Chains A and B, each alone.
Chain A
Amino acid sequence: MKTDQVKKINYVYLLGYILVPLAAAAASLFIGYTFFRDGGVGAVVCMFAIPLLAVLWWIFAGGMIWKLSKKKMVRRLDEMGIDRRQIFYSDGCVVSMDIKQGQIGLLFFWNPFQVQVAPAGRVARAWTDDGAGGAGFMRGTSRVSFLFEIDGIKIRVNTFISNQRWKMNDEKVLEGISKADLWVQVLEQARQQGAGV
């Protein structure tokens, strides 16, 4: 259980995720070029198979690690006796809130091996960002999220995200805003309870 400062990014993991396959692919290409110039199985492995594995790692590994981490988070919260019925899975972050115990559980995409639990009283403020932009009939959004500040770190949790702009009264956008408003209320409630307001 981590109760020290919330950490969104594990830089060792981030750099390892990007650089280790890159280094492996580069080394493999070098070995292939140096020792297997005449072709053969060694050349196929070094010049094709290992670089392909590196690319596959970049494409799929992040998602797979994230999926496993989310399952692990649920198990960890259960072990710690934290009520996880109020949990929100976003693309880059999972937030769980136990209002009774005043504990907030966090898991980040770029820090997937650390389930971080902190007292909700450390949440400084929470608000909704509906991402509205444009004027007139072009007014719309491509992202709705709720944000909160904990230990001076701003955390954004997307409740709706799209690669195109949707009208503000679109059903998907409305659902995103409602989810964000609900979570802001939950965070505020837990914060006030934690702060003894």
Chain B
Amino acid sequence: MGLIDKWLRKYQDDWCRDCKCAMEKARKQLFALPGMSVGHYVEHRDADYYMRELHMVDKKSDIPPGMYACGAIQYRCPECGKRITVLDPFLPVRDEEKHEGTVVFRGGELDDFLWW
């Protein structure tokens, strides 16, 4: 395994670790995180938290100032068909976004909740 492949495996969320290829974006959706406000962000990695707290919204302007948003993207490997979900919590501030780091779910924990 080459260095670049190692790097991709480690840092690229949208990279199929088994087939060594880029995954394609299957679906995406924006959510509001009303329980998380500016200055009080705490990282969560458990799916239950997101199932409890995420509220679907149509566009970024629906989220009031100071409230966190969360982008959800489902990736699908074109070769093996494996799916992963990447959550990207961020603070929308006017035209800018303050990202807090992605949370990846590889076991389909959120599939029923996000993509029903």
Contact = CB atoms under 8 A, between A and B. Distances in A.
B64 A185 contact: yes
Interface stretch (A42-50, A59-67, A98-106, A176-184): A176-184
A28 to B, nearest CB: 45
B64 A177 contact: no
B60 to A, nearest CB: 13
Majority-rule SS of A interface residues: helix
Interface residues of A, number: 12
22 contacts: A174-B96, A175-B38, A175-B39, A175-B91, A175-B93, A175-B98, A177-B93, A178-B38, A178-B65, A178-B91, A178-B98, A179-B38, A181-B66, A181-B93, A181-B94, A182-B37, A182-B38, A182-B65, A182-B66, A185-B64, A185-B65, A185-B66
Interface of B: 37-39, 64-66, 91, 93-94, 96, 98
Contacts, number: 36
Nearest to B38: A178
Given A171-B98, A179-B39, 19 more contacts: A168-B96, A174-B91, A174-B96, A174-B98, A175-B38, A175-B39, A175-B91, A177-B93, A177-B94, A178-B65, A178-B66, A178-B93, A178-B98, A179-B66, A181-B66, A181-B93, A182-B66, A184-B65, A185-B64
